[in-house]
């Protein structure tokens, strides 16, 4: 039976539990997130004060910006969100880590000359660039090895402008490890002491497609998020996986790997967090077997809706968000999986809840779902969720 959550906001956060976790974060709870993008970067940095055991299952379906160039050249999953989360969880007190974080965040000039951009990358590979020279050994040698690996494999017409150095290193590691991401993620997790676990939800070269309420079909994650293409003009109805950002033909979702299902079954709390609702959260739940692994774990499962504007949620209210989330979470076996097995509670700021007068609270209760109103938005973070407040509440619930 699913463990019952604290129901009263007055009990959150729990100062005694937080003090215990802060004293021994290496023994902290395994809070698992299905996410992608940058929405959890600040939250991840806050969490390491309380737990070194958080788990982050990341979408590798990004098809915009420099990720699109890498993916087209090498037919690989997107690594930008993985790199971002690894660096957010890196132990910044470790000697050399601030320099590594700065190097991995560095982008080659977007508007520069292509030849000069190539020469800059070559200087990095030779260790003659100040960002690389500042990284201590042995990490500097490892990074240089993968930069040389990238330069040996890169097509002659590859556009380096705007490329993230961290993405290039991870891409080279992926190629050098027989097109597997886990080995290079594990290597860098050890070297920069990542205080948590980061894994792609699939290790395959797949993309997203969506159908809108007006019948429009869009292929490619970058066409959904409203960042590189105009925001969707009609509500999103559903998403699926496809082989190419240029084709909306659906492919069967791959099965979740056993190692991922094991992480899900061992979590102390499962969180469906804020972020791009369709292209980050729901996309992460598409692999077959994910929802069954979630249902098999009796831990609490909470949904944290966005407090700010999400272009992907045009035409959605909170009730519809919950329905869409439940539809994906029970898709493995809709006749057998029950809502209360995959979602227990909606964690929401009191002010957001006050703006949802039409929310069917009785209907939610009948389905085994509870609302937990609490303080999640501060004067400094408004209108967005405050990462510190959310971290303390999630740790208290785990």
pTM of the predicted protein model? 0.94
- Percent of the chain, pLDDT > 70? 97
CATH number of 1-59+201-206+254-398: 3.40.50
Assess whether pLDDT exceeds 50 at residue 89. yes
Compare 66 and 55 and report the one with higher pLDDT: 55
What is the band of 366 on the pLDDT scale with cuts at 50, 70, 90? confident
Assess whether pLDDT exceeds 80 at residue 5. no
How crowded is the C-beta side of 57, counted as CA atoms within 13 Å?
Answer: 30
Confidence at residue 24, expressed as pLDDT on a 0 to 100 scale: 97
Across residues 382-395, what is the average pLDDT? 96
Domain boundaries, the chain: 1-59+201-206+254-398, 69-193, 207-249
Assess whether pLDDT exceeds 50 at residue 243. yes
Query: Which SS3 state, helix, strand or coil, does residue 349 take?
Result: strand
Confidence at residue 10, expressed as pLDDT on a 0 to 100 scale: 58
Confidence at residue 255, expressed as pLDDT on a 0 to 100 scale: 96
Compare 183 and 225 and report the one with higher pLDDT: 183
* Residues 6 or more apart in contact with residue 388 via CB below 8 angstroms: 46, 378
Confidence at residue 4, expressed as pLDDT on a 0 to 100 scale: 47
Q: What angle do CA 235, 236, 242 make, to 5 degrees?
A: 155
How much is the mean pLDDT over the chain? 93
User: In the chain, which residue ranges form alpha helices assigned H by DSSP?
Assistant: 15-23, 41-47, 65-74, 80-89, 97-105, 114-125, 130-133, 139-153, 165-176, 182-191, 258-266, 283-284, 290-296, 318-329, 339-342, 350-354, 361-366, 387-397
């Amino acid at each position: 039976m699913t463990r019952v959550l604290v129901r009263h906001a007055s009990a959150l956060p729990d100062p005694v539990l937080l003090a215990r976790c802060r004293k021994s974060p290496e023994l902290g709870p395994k809070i698992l997130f299905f996410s992608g993008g940058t929405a959890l970067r600040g939250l991840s940095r806050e969490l390491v004060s309380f737990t070194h055991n958080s788990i982050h299952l990341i979408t590798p379906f990004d098809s915009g910006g420099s990720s699109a160039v890498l993916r087209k050249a090498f037919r690989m999953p997107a690594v930008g969100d993985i790199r971002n989360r690894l660096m957010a969880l890196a132990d910044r007190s470790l000697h050399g880590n601030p320099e590594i974080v700065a190097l991995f965040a560095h982008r080659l000039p977007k508007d520069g000359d292509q030849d000069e951009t190539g020469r800059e990358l070559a200087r990095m590979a030779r260790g003659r660039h100040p960002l690389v020279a500042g990284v201590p050994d042995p990490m500097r040698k490892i990074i240089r090895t993968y930069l040389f690996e990238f330069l040996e494999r890169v097509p002659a017409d590859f556009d380096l402008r705007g490329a993230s150095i961290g993405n290039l290193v991870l891409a080279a590691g992926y190629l050098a490890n027989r097109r597997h991401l886990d080995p290079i993620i594990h290597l860098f997790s050890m070297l920069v002491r990542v205080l948590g676990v980061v894994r792609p939800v699939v290790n395959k070269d797949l993309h997203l497609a969506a159908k809108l309420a007006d019948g429009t079909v869009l292929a490619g994650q970058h066409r959904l998020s409203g960042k590189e293409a105009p925001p969707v003009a009609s509500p999103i109805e559903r998403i699926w996986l496809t082989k190419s950002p240029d084709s909306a033909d659906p492919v069967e979702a791959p099965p979740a790997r056993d190692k991922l299902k094991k992480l899900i079954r061992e979590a102390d709390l499962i969180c469906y967090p804020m972020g791009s609702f369709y292209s980050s959260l729901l996309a992460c739940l598409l692999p077959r077997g994910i929802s069954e692994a979630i249902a098999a774990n009796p831990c609490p499962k909470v949904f944290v809706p966005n407090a700010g504007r999400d272009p992907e949620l045009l035409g959605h209210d909170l009730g519809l968000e919950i329905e869409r989330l439940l539809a994906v979470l029970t898709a493995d076996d809709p006749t057998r999986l029950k809502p209360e097995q995959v979602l227990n509670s909606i964690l929401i700021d009191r002010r957001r809840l006050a703006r949802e007068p039409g929310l069917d609270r009785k209907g939610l209760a009948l389905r085994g779902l509870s609302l937990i109103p609490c303080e999640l938005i501060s004067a400094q973070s408004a209108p967005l969720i405050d990462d510190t407040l959310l971290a303390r509440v999630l740790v208290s619930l785990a």
